[in-house]
Amino acid sequence: MKYKSVFDIIGPVMIGPSSSHTAGAARIGRVARDLFGRQPKWARIHLYGSFAETYKGHGTDVAIIGGLLDYDTFDERIKTSFEEAERAGLTYKFIPETGNVDHPNTARIEMGDEESEMSLTGISIGGGTIEVTELNGFPLRLSGGHSALLVVHDDRAGCIANVANCLARYDINIGHMEVSRRERGQMALMVIEVDQRIDQDVLGEIALLPNITQVTKIAG
């Protein structure tokens, strides 16, 4: 694992007790909410490995719910996130799993409301750092630590170049980019982490490009 600074190792300012089990869990929940685009009405949280074994004692459960409520790692409301969720109308269920996973601190969140549903798998890799490894069946690698775009598009020639050219016109540098698809010629997903802030004008221009279905911004 590569860390960008000593603060990645020490961990973020956070509500304890653990950077991996609490801060990382809160970030997984918050990124899931960002990608969903609004407050979900319900959530099923599948926990694996160490998360499944110690989630109550280490506060993983309240942290994930706090993240789904859009609380940052240092927000004192994480301590009372169950009560806050009830007031917000968010119902949830934790499901400890026994299956093998690639990383011991893994959570799979299924969430939704009357309009749509979404699934996301995230791992807490230490010091409050996370990676999202799956979104609605698409494999990906998203850190949640940088501004990022998720672009759903048809698998057609020129889509990736069009999006990259649009970002270049706004002097936005791409730090990391991945593209995945389920089947050739069908729906595909671009994950683009960038170094600069992404304004609404950029999102709007990308959304109007040919073969683009959906554009979602994640704040780093």
Residue where one domain finishes, among candidates 125, 142, 159 = 142
**Into how many domains does the chain fold?**
2
pLDDT, one tens digit per residue, over 97-134 is 987 787 889 999 999 999 999 999 999 987 778 889 99
- Tell me: do 135 and 197 sit in the same domain: no
Find the radius of gyration of the CA atoms of the chain: 17
pLDDT, one tens digit per residue, over 130-165 is 889 998 888 888 776 678 898 999 999 999 999 999
pLDDT, one tens digit per residue, over 41-69 is 999 999 999 999 998 888 899 999 999 99
Tell me what pLDDT residue 4 has.
41
Assess if residue 2 is contained within a domain.
no
- Tell me: do 86 and 176 sit in the same domain: no
Assess if residue 73 is contained within a domain.
yes
Tell me what pLDDT residue 144 has.
64
Tell me what pLDDT residue 3 has.
37
- Tell me: do 126 and 101 sit in the same domain: yes
How far is Cα of residue 169 from the mean position of the Cα atoms in its chain? Answer: 27
Residue 148 amino acid letter: A
Split at pLDDT 50, 70, 90, the class of 20 is low
Q: What CATH number does the domain containing 177 carry? A: 3.30.70.260
Assess if residue 1 is contained within a domain.
no
- Tell me: do 162 and 100 sit in the same domain: no
Tell me what pLDDT residue 217 has.
84
Tally Cβ neighbours within 10 Å of residue 187.
16
Q: Is the pLDDT of residue 35 over 90?
A: no
Q: Is the pLDDT of residue 85 over 90?
A: yes
- Tell me: do 136 and 157 sit in the same domain: no
Backbone φ and ψ for 183, nearest 5 degrees, come out as: -140, 150
Assess if residue 26 is contained within a domain.
yes
- Tell me: do 179 and 212 sit in the same domain: yes
Residue where one domain finishes, among candidates 118, 142, 166 = 142
Assess if residue 109 is contained within a domain.
yes
| CB neighbour list of residue 71: distance below 8 Å, 6 or more residues apart | 26, 30, 77, 78, 81
Give how far Cα 32 sits from Cα of 11, 49, 111, 112, 144, Å: 21, 20, 9, 11, 10
- Tell me: do 93 and 160 sit in the same domain: no
Omega before 96 within 30 of 0, i.e. cis: no
The model's pTM: 0.77
Tell me what pLDDT residue 184 has.
87
